Amino acid sequence: MLVFWNKKLVFLSVPKTGTTAIEEALSPFADMVISHPPELKHAPLYRYNRFFRPMFERACKTDDMETMAVMREPVSWLASWYRYRRREDLRGLPNSTENVSFEEFVQEYMKGDKKAPFANVGSQARFLEPRKNGLKVDHLFRYEDQARLLDFLETRLQLKIELPRRNTSPDMPLSLSPDTHAKLRRKCAEEFALYESLD
């Protein structure tokens, strides 16, 4: 999470959406950089609403902070998690995907609360879910539309931004069977609906 106090902007870091590169590029210009622990670095909207927003409003006497985040196409997002969890330092651990196919990973992901540790990667829709008090992410961008994201950030922060390539997983061809893809769209309809609602 990055807070740009004078620009009234909070960047919420959705995992596996290029946030490491953005944080590296923008940290020198942020007023608050929350990089550890992961539960706070990747604080979802509900955690921001519960802890950070009240702090800004009560201690800092401001209620005009805006939030922004990036969302990745749901299958691409799962593929990124799958590749990330195939890395060597996870070999032999319960959250390693080394010995499962992408198809098996996605099938396991769809098991809800009963999923195996290697497929327990959360939900973008849950991360970004509006709160009952009306709080929602003010500016939400598609990961795949980097030009629009960077244009917003450069205009808002009045900076020229060059994003480094960081925390990327090895490329590998991944695909799903038509049946699994259809089941994923049905079981995780909120993920696809939110992504497809973005301009």
Q: Is 69 helix (H, G, I), strand (E, B) or coil?
A: strand
pLDDT band at 170 (very low <50, low <70, confident <90, very high): low
The C-alpha atoms of residue 118 and residue 13 are separated, in whole angstroms, by: 21
Mean pLDDT of 51-79: 92
Domains of the chain are 2-197 (3.40.50)
The C-alpha atoms of residue 119 and residue 191 are separated, in whole angstroms, by: 16
> What is the per-residue pLDDT for 179?
98
pLDDT band at 113 (very low <50, low <70, confident <90, very high): confident
Q: Is 9 helix (H, G, I), strand (E, B) or coil?
A: strand
